[in-house]
Amino acid sequence: MKKNFILLTIVLVSLSVFIACQDKASEKVKSDNDEVSLNIVTTEDLKKSLKDKNTVVVDIRSEAQYIGWKSNGVKRGGHIKGAVDFPLTWTKDLNNEKLNKLLNTKGITKNKTIIVYGQEVESSKEMMNILKNLEYKNVKVYKEGITKWASNKNLPMDRLKRYEKLVHPKWIKDLIDGKSPKTYNNKSYKIFEVSWGEGKDYKKGHIPGAYHLDTNLIEEEPLWNVKSDKDLETMLVNNGITYNTTVVLYGKDTTAAARAASVLMYSGVKDVRILNGGYAAWTKKGYEVEKDINKPEAVKEFGLNVPSNPEYIVGIEKAKKILTKENAELVSIRSWPEYIGETSGYTYIEPKGRIKGAKWGHAGSDAYHMEHFRNIDNTMRNYNEIKKFWKEWDITSDKEISFFCGTGWRASETFFYAYLMGWDNISVYDGGWFEWSMDKSNPIEKGEPNK
């Protein structure tokens, strides 16, 4: 009898402890849910917040989705108008110090209310927790996400005007696999990895089916200006390119791909595209690479006169005229030390300074980097940020704009970005500082300018 009583007592005590633990667990779940619910904003809340200067709306999806590419289930491409881009994937590659610094450059600061959205709420919650761990105090989640927002045509969205010319790895993968990706309405395409020389990186591995394009086929010494129109036509025909071929360009260095893009557009190729983020974007996705050396089959003719868009690449006389025009700007895409005359930027260019009257269009840390126009993964920087720093130098879309650098590569990259942004009256001054500085009669300046 006594033994049964003891057993009964043990059972009752254990049961009470179990119930108490369950109650505490339920309280914790309830507490967590309450905390999340307090940080959820509705569509109406978000509409109001877009007008609040103390609130930053953050799109954590991919750069491709942000600039305009539609994902499955989303009715409109692009992003909520006014939102800044900060893909969740960026948080994986940075320590807290660098992550904080990058967030601040995007205006995502701890003194503001941060509203995070994506396509799936779990990703948004993950980003919210990352920010809270960085001691951001007021972080909220737009739970309904881009799918809900994009379904209502009355809600404002924005996108890069010619986003389709800046493709993502999955788009190329679908193209190779014969799936006719969105915005591709052609029967013929060519993919080229672009670099100077014989293609050492290409031989180590490249996108399946891609050919190598040596920049020596499109430019030549002594100034590294674009080759003659006859030589360009020969290059196009030999590489199997007609005016109607969709040409996708990429490289380890996007600047080389952009140089080729400007030449192809000048020649008359109607559909020229660049892989956003370059070859690294392809490999980061884990897609297949090959080492076979592919050789394009030549075509009989290009199909149009070369050049068909002569306005895209201009010479020194045109550059001089632009400097005299009231509604035009000659824009230097060189590092600040190059622009103010501390360095020429190149071992083979001796004179230092800038073309007198040229505006500074930003570039990077030196002649071989373009950080001002790139994200940390080498994708194109937010186009609204580019517009903003260009506007500070009176570089605007309503003007005639001609970009130049040392020999044309960096200028070509910004030319392509301006083209993506929908700017129409644009060109590359091909000779750039190299050509200009060789003639001592051409006016130059040094030192910090008055804007």
Residue spans per domain, the chain: 40-158, 164-308, 311-445
Q: What is the CATH number of domain 164-308?
A: 3.40.250.10
Closest among 285, 282, 296, 297 to 205, alpha carbons compared: 282
pTM over 0.85: yes
Q: Residue 36 has what pLDDT?
A: 52
Q: Is 28 helix (H, G, I), strand (E, B) or coil?
A: helix
- b (16+ CB within 10 A) / e for 73-99: ebebbbbbebbbbbbbebbeeeeeeeb
CATH class of 311-445: alpha beta
Secondary structure element (H or E) that encloses residue 286, with its range: none
**Catalytically active residues, by annotation:** 405
Tokens 């009583």 found at = 5
The token pair at 250 is 């990429």
Residue 159 corresponds to which amino acid? Answer: R
Say how far apart CA 353 and CA 444 lie, in whole Å: 6
Q: Residue 12 has what pLDDT?
A: 40
Residues of the chain with pLDDT under 70: 1-38, 451
Q: Are 80 and 156 in contact (CB under 8 A)?
A: yes
> Can you list the alpha helix ranges (DSSP code H) found in 219-277?
229-238, 254-267
Q: Residue 450 has what pLDDT?
A: 80
Q: Are 237 and 271 in contact (CB under 8 A)?
A: no
Exposed/middle/buried for 237, CB within 10 Å: 0-12, 13-18, 19+? middle
Give the C-alpha distances (Å, rounded to integers) separating 125 from 54, 121, 145, 378.
Answer: 21, 6, 11, 26
Superfamily covering domain 40-158? Rhodanese-like domain (3.40.250.10)
| Phi, psi torsion values for 42, nearest 5 degrees | -90, 175
Say how far apart CA 181 and CA 50 lie, in whole Å: 33
Q: Residue 451 has what pLDDT?
A: 65
Across-strand partners of 113? Answer: 55
Q: Residue 37 has what pLDDT?
A: 54
CB atoms within 10 A of CB 166: 25
Chain segment 369-402, per-residue pLDDT in tens: 999 999 999 999 999 999 999 999 999 999 999 9
